């Protein structure tokens, strides 16, 4: 049995990153995530992702990874 097209569209919209997030808001969020990582000093990449997932559960994985990579610079 196939799901209706409306159902598929709702799933896609829920999985998509937030639309309308301003660049300044995104930068602020990235700085906040990097600050958390600097304070926590996770021992591994997996631990860093776990820290960010707990602290920012609604933020897309790609953005959490970007914050983690930016924090290493």
For residue range 5-16, what is the model confidence (pLDDT) as tens digits? 544 444 333 344
pLDDT of res. 18: 45
Establish if 5 belongs to a structural domain: no
Percent of the chain with pLDDT over 90: 55
**pLDDT band, very low/low/confident/very high, at 26 (cuts 50, 70, 90):** confident
Which pair of structure tokens corresponds to residue 21?
A: 């997030």
DSSP codes of every residue in 13-73: HHHSPPTT--HHHHHHHHHHHHHHHHHH--SSHHHHHHHHHHH-TTS-HHHHHHHHHHHT-
For residue range 39-62, what is the model confidence (pLDDT) as tens digits? 999 999 999 999 999 999 999 999
Query: Domain range for residue 39?
Result: 22-71
Question: What is the pLDDT of the chain when averaged over all its residues?
Answer: 77
Establish if 10 belongs to a structural domain: no
Task: Indicate the number of domains in the chain.
Answer: 1
Note the pTM of the prediction, 2 decimals.
0.63
């Amino acid at each position: 049995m196939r799901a209706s097209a409306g159902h598929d569209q709702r799933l896609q919209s829920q999985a998509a990153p937030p639309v309308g997030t301003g660049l300044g808001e995104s930068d602020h969020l990235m700085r906040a995530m990097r600050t958390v990582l600097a304070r926590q000093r996770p021992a591994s990449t997996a631990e860093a992702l776990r820290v960010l997932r707990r602290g920012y559960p609604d933020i897309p994985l790609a953005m959490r990874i970007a914050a983690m990579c930016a924090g290493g610079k």
